[in-house]
């Protein structure tokens, strides 16, 4: 998994750099993956040397960033 994390880090750094979004320092990626049987699974990938508690904190922060706009949509009655 370390090699996958290193590949992820390099790829994200390139994409973010090309988009002029800044320099990647660390990342958590949550991806839905279909296996050979068509079974869906969630994978949590992190950049190397990211402590588990930091990854958890980043995920929780991301959750809060998503919940605000979604909650606002439902509060306005626009649930589509």
- Cα separation, 8 vs 43, in Å, equals 13
pTM exceeds 0.85: no
**Interval 44-76: pLDDT, tens:** 999 999 999 999 999 999 999 999 888 888 887
Give me the residues paired with residue 40 across strands: 34
Question: pLDDT by residue (tens digit) across 2-44?
Answer: 899 899 999 999 999 999 999 999 999 999 999 999 999 999 9
């Amino acid at each position: 998994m370390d090699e996958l994390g290193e590949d992820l880090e390099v790829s994200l750094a390139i994409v973010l750099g090309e988009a002029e979004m800044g320099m990647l320092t660390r990342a958590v990626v949550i991806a839905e993956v279909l296996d050979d049987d068509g079974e869906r699974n969630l994978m949590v990938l992190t950049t190397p040397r990211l402590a588990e508690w930091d990854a958890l904190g980043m995920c929780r922060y991301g959750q809060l960033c998503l919940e605000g706009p979604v909650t606002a949509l439902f509060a306005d009655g626009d649930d589509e």
